[in-house]
Structure 1
Amino acid sequence: MEQNELRTELNPFEMLEELLWQEQFELIFPDSESDYKEEALQIRLIYLMNDAVESFLVFVNAKMTGQYQPDYEGELEAELSREDTEEGTTYVLVVHQGDSVVTLFFEDLKVETHLYRYGDLGHFWVKGYEYLRQLEYRIAILHTKCEYLGEDAASEEERKLAELVHFPPLNYACYPAVSQKYIVPMDGVWEPTEQAIFIMEELAAEANDHSLLWWLSFYRKHHGKGMSRLLAWMMHRIRHGAVIDLLIDKLMRTSEGYPVRIYHAEILMRAMQRKAELESLGKKVTLVREEPFTTAQDSVEYNVYLMIWKKKWGNRVVEVEHILDGY
């Protein structure tokens, strides 16, 4: 898909072709002690996994032959065919993982999607102005959700805020949430779109930040790496904090309608108690959750953090407190 192009409808076979073209083939099998090679099952193929969404392609009534390599990381060759008989339709997917061949026989292909609240989720993988890195992360996963799953997976407000992935002072060009080796490069990362600048102007106007409005108008005509870095510096200044707070709040509110993955309620309760304790001392505190996926195994464990806001030489910074089990 081209930049800013959103999928209008989900065609599972086109999505499968897209995954195979990207050489992505990670299967999830049902929790069962039975031999999946002998029984017809619903085998799932991971389509998109991030904090905002877990989405799969489901092979309906599938049987598998050959040797699937779950840890394979190399080139894939795949071929999909269809066989129509009086008994019905059977699809045959043959995938070559190097020297291994795995074949899936299935009757239909469906999309399964689970959407989750992401407005208070984040990871503390990179130090320094962590709250801006959380913004970068949330905007990035929101944009990915909109790009891959289309209009039905996001509200109009979400699709609007997702455009801020093309605002360099807040994207990974200036505030990456992950280390450099994990960044997937984006074309024109230093080039803002007109829509992204307009959205930031709306936020600045709503926050009555006339100074930032002037700079955004200037940025529209003189954007580039140098000006992007200047505006990125402005994003953590106290005088422009209301704009950042407004954006954080909008992302939180637009995702509130989605369910929350529930883990270790006692840790979350302990974090809320600690948050209330700090707020009683006059401190501003933001709670951030870190969650593993519900369906597929990943390296992330459930964690709860508190960002304690502070002021330092005209900048807004946060002290991150990790709430541990048994705190």
Structure 2
Amino acid sequence: MTDEVVEKLAQLLEQDQFELIFQEAKVRLVYLMNDAVESFLVFKNVRITGEYNRDYQGELEASLEKQGQKFVLIVRQGETVFTLFFDDLVMENHLYEYGTIGHFWVKNYEYLRQMEYRLAILRDKYDYLGEEYCNEKEKRLAQLVDFPPLNYCCYPAVPEKYIVPKENPWVPTEAALSVMDEFASRAKDRTLGKILRLYREFPVPFIAKRIGNMLHRNSHGRVVDMINEEIRVASKKYPRRNFGRDAECKIQETLHKVQRRQELLKNKGQQSIILREEPFSTAEDSIEYKIYLMIWKKGILNRKVLIEEYPVSL
């Protein structure tokens, strides 16, 4: 068991996180689960005694020992205690394409909230697994999590009760400002470039909110489109989850229906994007798969979208 794995186990325990998944003759401990990553600590040749409560939420007490050639992990969940005897603990990481993932939990300017979500899960991959699990585009894009006009300060993808606040969320980093400068320059958006220079000198919430408002204007749509396209391209190299032959047939059947709808809209001059919401590969329960059609609507000043939902029961 490497020092890195021990550190990751300690990190989970410090956060009172201990979710075991029993699947494919393996016992996995969830390390990071989101649309971009499914990461686990896998117990080798494990034997469990006592009672593991999968629904427990609360403080954990744990101790790790070595007895001969075996490791022993004792975990207390409140009044319940269980013990894992195992030979080794190793990392198992699965990376997935996330550039066309869609979750529509919060209304209004959904296309910006999708961007916030994708950047957030990318940053989690960068922070928890390390930059070696990110390509060069992802390393740059991950910095935009520290750009308040694009993060949860202005466009949260989830309701407020689910947001995990960070220290000084309204303060942009130099790296984030540099990445946005680059996009504004590539889009030849001089107005945005000008206010970014002011924002660098005066990084206050008032200017951040002003930039946030600018990003949903028709006049600055090119910058938003370029960032979204960069995310899509950066994640394209990763595979998509596969749910088996029967499930994939159902997904393709619904997808063809959505594509026909998209073609009809295109013939009427309306642009749209197909997105998907899917369960994790290691999900133990039957979870609904959804395909969305995000249809662009151009207002007088603002860009808006209409969302159509197409469920697929797997």
State the TM-score bracket (shorter-chain normalisation). Answer: over 0.9
Question: How far off its partner does 1:299 sit?
Answer: 8.7
Distance 1:18 1:232, change over 3 A: same
1:52 aligns with 2:32: no
1:305 to 292, 299, 308: 292
TM-score of the two chains, using structure 1 as the length reference: 0.90
Deviates more, 1:208-217 or 1:317-326: 317-326
Name the SS for the 1:287 alignment partner: strand
Counterpart contact for 2:290–2:312, Cα < 8 Å: no
Which residue is equivalent to 1:203?
A: 183
Name the SS for the 2:46 alignment partner: strand
- 5+ residue gaps, structure 2, are 243-247
1:19 to 12, 17, 38: 12
Alignment of 1:280-319 (within 5 A): 280-297=267-284, 301-319=288-306
Provide Cα deviations, 1:38-65, integer angstroms capped at 9, x if missing partner.
xxx6311000000001010000000000
Q: Take 1:246 and 1:10, find their aligned partners in 2: how far apart are those partners?
A: 40
Counterpart contact for 2:274–2:293, Cα < 8 Å: yes
Alignment of 1:1-327 (within 5 A): 11-31=4-24, 42-84=26-68, 89-262=69-242, 263=248, 264-297=251-284, 301-324=288-311
Name the SS for the 2:170 alignment partner: coil
Question: How far off its partner does 1:10 sit?
Answer: 8.2
Question: How far off its partner does 1:297 sit?
Answer: 4.0
Q: Take 1:194 and 1:281, find their aligned partners in 2: how far apart are those partners?
A: 43
Question: How far off its partner does 1:151 sit?
Answer: 2.0
Counterpart contact for 2:272–2:294, Cα < 8 Å: yes
Whichever residue aligns with residue 323 of structure 1, its letter is Y
Q: Take 1:69 and 1:165, find their aligned partners in 2: how far apart are those partners?
A: 35
Provide the aligned length of Structure 1 versus Structure 2: 305
Q: Take 1:200 and 1:108, find their aligned partners in 2: how far apart are those partners?
A: 44
Q: Take 1:290 and 1:104, find their aligned partners in 2: how far apart are those partners?
A: 35
Q: Take 1:80 and 1:325, find their aligned partners in 2: how far apart are those partners?
A: 43
Counterpart contact for 2:275–2:293, Cα < 8 Å: yes
Question: How far off its partner does 1:287 sit?
Answer: 1.1
Counterpart contact for 2:102–2:292, Cα < 8 Å: no
Provide Cα deviations, 1:81-133, integer angstroms capped at 9, x if missing partner.
0123xxxx200000000000010000001001110000010200000000000
Provide Cα deviations, 1:176-201, integer angstroms capped at 9, x if missing partner.
00000000011111000011011001
Name the SS for the 1:58 alignment partner: strand
Whichever residue aligns with residue 30 of structure 2, its letter is I
Deviates more, 1:170-179 or 1:292-301: 292-301
Name the SS for the 1:259 alignment partner: coil
Whichever residue aligns with residue 71 of structure 1, its letter is D
Deviates more, 1:278-287 or 1:211-220: 278-287
Q: Take 1:169 and 1:298, find their aligned partners in 2: how far apart are those partners?
A: 37
Which residue is equivalent to 1:3?
A: none
Q: Take 1:22 and 1:42, find their aligned partners in 2: how far apart are those partners?
A: 23
Deviates more, 1:316-325 or 1:127-136: 316-325
Q: Take 2:158 and 2:3, find their aligned partners in 1: how far apart are those partners?
A: 30
Question: How far off its partner does 1:30 sit?
Answer: 2.7
Name the SS for the 2:98 alignment partner: coil
Whichever residue aligns with residue 216 of structure 1, its letter is L
- 5+ residue gaps, structure 1, are 1-8, 32-40
Q: Take 1:94 and 1:303, find their aligned partners in 2: how far apart are those partners?
A: 40
**Structure 1 ranges of 4+ moved more than 3 A:** 297-300
Q: Take 1:325 and 1:301, find their aligned partners in 2: how far apart are those partners?
A: 6
Counterpart contact for 1:235–1:241, Cα < 8 Å: yes
Q: Take 1:12 and 1:171, find their aligned partners in 2: how far apart are those partners?
A: 31
| Two-structure CA RMSD over aligned residues (Å) | 1.6
